[in-house]
Amino acid sequence: MATFSSLSTEMKAHIFSFIRLELDQATVCLVSHEWREIMAPLLWESLTFEYQSISTAKFITLIRPDSGIIRHVRRIFIDYDPESLDDSIPQHIQAAIELTINTLPKNTLRSFRSRVALAPRFLLNLLRHQQKMTGLEVPTDDPNENVSIDSGIVTHGAWISTALCELKWLSVYIGSGDYTYQHSAYMIRNAPKLIDLCIDSDGDEQAPIRGEQSCDAFGGPYADDVAVQPLQLTRFRLQWIALSLSHGRLLKYVNLPGLRSLALICCHGIGPFLMAIATQLSLSCNLIELGIVMSQALIVQDDNVVQGIEAVLDSCSGLQSLWINVDKARMVEPSCITRHGQTLRKLGISIDPENAVYYSVSDLHAILTSASHLEELAVHIPPIEMGSLQSLGTNFNLRVPYNGYFDVPTLLVAFLTCIACHPTLHTLRILSLPEINHGFPPNTIRLDREHVPDDLVPSISTTIQKLATEAMCFSGKAGSHIKVLGICPDDLPQYRPKPDSNGHRWPKYFYIRGHIWDPMSSERITAVPIPIKNLSEGSVFNFDYISTAM
């Protein structure tokens, strides 16, 4: 009989690829030298720098040649989540990243992505050492230095264009000066294989696609005189862009009917833009992913934004992934969503969390009934009263139907029953935060923007887990297939407390379905906390970002 040892190296690597937890991957490396050689490339292929966990000892181990780690690194992701969203990345982390790039074997890195601004000189250094990358995102943090860096890019154009020629996805930042538009245009024009593009504002306000002096993000200086072929993208994301001044240029530079994925995140003036592309999509459409996120300040100025969203939804069919956040605007008509029901696999609908706005049970039932193959859902639900924080939610419970019926179901129970009865749904993200009386003014911790002190973290964590366990038990006994549950809004507060013992930080919590046995040896369903990094990158838990793929 064949044993594991007799399997080919390729088969062993395939089996090891299903090991998700880093601790288990590290354990495999300790079994034997053979297993280490197979697992190490899988374990270290993607390297994430996290400010919470990086230390001098870990860093020294990483770059030591005899550790056998650095030669396996192919993708680097800088993920920094400071207490204040205004904080900058610490200098020692920047130094660690730069040294890592210089230590990597030349041209082995395939993608580099950062969620935080780095020193502009870093970009030149990265492109000099790694010229085979297929993905790049490097926001920079010093406008004055950016000017000289832009001149440096032009001066060293020969080798920089070589470094860009293999790029398939790219994120660029515009807005703080004409040099940002020149930089963006140069990067885009020298990436002939580009199929995935994100354009973001590098400031606090929405930036137009076109800057001053006839310079724009696609054509660069004298853009009006530059003849360019429309980009044949499959994924396109715009974030904090003033589309009221730009949508004509987008129609010129991007073949919108050819897109498979479109995301508009906190953009100004998207109503006319949506109406314009709806006309194009009605003639030819390949769109399967659509994400639109608006903020309250922008909604006030865009009275026709919802009409534009509905026009786009009506102009195409076959969406598989849909995320809509209209904040305080009116809800999108359910009929515009149900027309995509047969193809929808992921759906997120966020509406005015401050005033607890949500679809009615009948509207939700219509949407879920039409989406018979839906797998992941993010939605607001009716208010959840968890009582006093001192009680840790012990008095909260959800009544489970007896023979499929309730005597007098509450609105919350009716809402959850509608969700639990879906035949294929396996992932649920609850966008509503529970109301918890913590005894200090104001009397509830409900809004995601409210500051939560560190000393309340353990009690809140326990209370949220009680809610998650009740929801898991309720859905399980109602026949649901939900295996993953998240309780988290789609917007973060400016100040967040320290992580709890599970690695969760208010207001985001994640659980999988588990089973325990009580003292009577009866099996019960429970909610088991899991870290967010163990969740799928493309799940509804990342829908609010709709991030460019690594």
Q: What string of DSSP letters covers 87-128? A: PPPPHHHHHHHHHHHHHSPTT---EEEESS-B-THHHHHHHH
Q: Which residue has the higher pLDDT, 444 or 392?
A: 392
Q: How confident is the model at residue 291 (pLDDT cuts 50, 70, 90)?
A: very high
Amino acid at 34: E
Lowest-pLDDT range of 131-135, 183-187, 396-400, 438-442: 438-442
The predicted pLDDT at position 142 comes to 55
- Compute the distance between CA of residue 344 and CA of residue 334 in angstroms, rounded to an integer: 14
Residue 209 has pLDDT above 60, yes or no: yes
Contacts of 316 (CB under 8 A, 6+ apart): 281, 282, 285, 287
Mean pLDDT of 304-328: 90
- Compute the distance between CA of residue 145 and CA of residue 177 in angstroms, rounded to an integer: 12
The predicted pLDDT at position 146 comes to 47
267 alpha carbon, distance to own chain's centre: 17
Asked, as a colleague might, if the bond just before 442 is cis with ω within 30 of 0, I would say yes
The predicted pLDDT at position 462 comes to 92
Q: Which residue has the higher pLDDT, 523 or 290?
A: 290
Lowest-pLDDT range of 135-139, 149-153, 276-280, 430-434: 149-153
How many C-alpha atoms does 302 have within 13 Å on its Cβ side? 30
Q: Do the Cβ atoms of 470 and 397 come closer than 8 Å?
A: yes
- Compute the distance between CA of residue 125 and CA of residue 379 in angstroms, rounded to an integer: 44
Q: How confident is the model at residue 441 (pLDDT cuts 50, 70, 90)?
A: low
Residue 541 has pLDDT above 90, yes or no: no
Q: Where does residue 363 fall: left (phi above 0), alpha (psi -120 to 50 degrees), or beta otherwise?
A: alpha
Q: Which residue stretches of 156-269 are H helix?
A: 157-164, 178-189, 247-253
Following DSSP, what letter does each residue of 174-189 receive, concatenated?
E-SSHHHHHHHHHHHH
Mean pLDDT of 419-441: 86
Mean pLDDT of 37-56: 74
Domains of the chain: 1-44 (1.20.1280), 269-373 (no CATH), 389-534 (no CATH)
The predicted pLDDT at position 36 comes to 72
Q: Which residue has the higher pLDDT, 445 or 244?
A: 244
Give the pTM. Answer: 0.86
**What percent of the chain has a predicted confidence (pLDDT) above 70?**
78
Amino acid at 46: S
Residue 22 has pLDDT above 70, yes or no: no
The predicted pLDDT at position 548 comes to 40
Q: What is the mean pLDDT of the chain?
A: 80
Q: How confident is the model at residue 86 (pLDDT cuts 50, 70, 90)?
A: very low
Token pair recorded at residue 61: 């181990």
Contacts of 339 (CB under 8 A, 6+ apart): 313, 314, 317
Lowest-pLDDT range of 118-122, 279-283, 406-410: 406-410
The predicted pLDDT at position 324 comes to 92
- Compute the distance between CA of residue 392 and CA of residue 127 in angstroms, rounded to an integer: 52
**What percent of the chain has a predicted confidence (pLDDT) above 90?**
29
